[in-house]
A and B are shown apart, each in its own frame.
Chain A
Amino acid sequence: MWYYEKKLQYPVKVSQCNPMLAKYLIEQYGGADGELSAALRYLNQRYTIPDKVVGLLNDIGTEEFAHLEMIATMIYKLTKDATPEQLKAAGLGAHFVNHDHALYYHNAAGSPWTATYIQAKGDPIADLYEDVAAEEKARATYQWIIDISDDPYINDSLKFLREREIVHSQRFKEAIEILKEERDRQKIF
């Protein structure tokens, strides 16, 4: 089971109301390479992955939910005081008529989150290579958002998240090596 802890993993501050930036950040909320995809991908794969790497998928999957909460906090804080006019000007008019100020799991272009964003192949090497790729894609997305954002507080939090993608990618690569070593050992008679 899980315990909720009443704190963010890393502080999230915003300079000012900025629905345009929020619109871009939604990519990491309900987009293909976003935090929801990441959390659900790893926690679902862990049931059929070898014992040696279950812990890693379990723990990275759990950390992704903390990242999802950080992204949600950014979007919430950037939009909570926005008027319908401001939302419309930021390209969130269609979002507003369906959701008001509520958050929703879709990407920056408005496509709803879908399970087709994630895979579970049952083949540990295939699954872990997908996980490495997912982390690298998320890292790239964070970089593009940092490049397009001029909010220094948001960028500080985004840089934290970008670095976490690098660490996760590294750990997944180590997991692949652990499984390969195990496989090669079994071939020696």
Chain B
Amino acid sequence: MNSSAPMPESYYRLLEKIQAVDFVLVDLTLYLDTHPNDFETIKQFNQLAYESKQLKASFEEQFGPLLQYGGSFSQYPWDWKQAPWPWQV
């Protein structure tokens, strides 16, 4: 319920970049769960984990925290609970 103001185009562009990198991280996680000795893939995983953190830092500066429970810092006032939620955009 409730609709908030529409998000700017840059929100979607940056979010999609994060989704793309994080998708590879999910897929590599499952792959490494059954191929734990694949050195090259672990290097790729760590490189993408770094890229993901960079992208999220930049996203959070503009659009607020992505992770709950201290995974992200908060502005004043408390901004974690602010809409939009993922199903609203």
Partners in one complex: yes
CB <8 Å contact, A4 and B68? yes
Does A5 sit within 8 A of B, measured CB to CB?
A: yes
Binding site for B on A (CB under 8 A): 3-12, 53, 55-56, 59-60, 63, 69, 72-73, 76-77, 80, 167-168, 171, 174-175, 178
In whole Å, how far is B78's beta carbon from the nearest beta carbon of chain A? 14
CB <8 Å contact, A171 and B34? yes
CB <8 Å contact, A7 and B30? no
CB <8 Å contact, A6 and B33? no
**Can you sample 13 A-B contacts with CB below 8 Å?**
A3-B69, A3-B71, A5-B67, A5-B71, A6-B85, A7-B66, A7-B86, A11-B16, A60-B30, A167-B27, A171-B31, A175-B34, A178-B34
- Tell me whether chain A's interface is mostly helix, strand or loop, or mixed: helix
CB <8 Å contact, B23 and A9? yes
In whole Å, how far is A80's beta carbon from the nearest beta carbon of chain B? 8
Q: Flag B59-74 by CB within 8 Å of A: 1 or 0 each.
A: 0000011111101000
Instruction: Enumerate B15-34 residues with CB–CB distance to A below 8 Å.
Output: 15-16, 18-19, 22-23, 26-27, 29-31, 33-34
Size of interface on B: residues with Cβ below 8 Å to A? 26
Given contacts A9-B19, A73-B86, A76-B87, contact A3 B67 (CB under 8 A): yes
Given contacts A3-B69, A73-B87, contact A171 B18 (CB under 8 A): no
CB <8 Å contact, B26 and A7? no
Contacts of B18 in A (CB 8 A): 7
Closest to B20 in A: A10
CB <8 Å contact, A5 and B87? no
Contacts of B22 in A (CB 8 A): 7, 9
CB <8 Å contact, A55 and B33? yes
CB <8 Å contact, A56 and B33? yes
In whole Å, how far is A121's beta carbon from the nearest beta carbon of chain B? 21
Contacts of B67 in A (CB 8 A): 3-6
CB <8 Å contact, A10 and B23? yes
In whole Å, how far is B35's beta carbon from the nearest beta carbon of chain A? 8
With a 10 A CB-CB cut-off, give which of A7, A77, A175 has the most chain B CB atoms. Answer: A7
CB <8 Å contact, B26 and A171? no
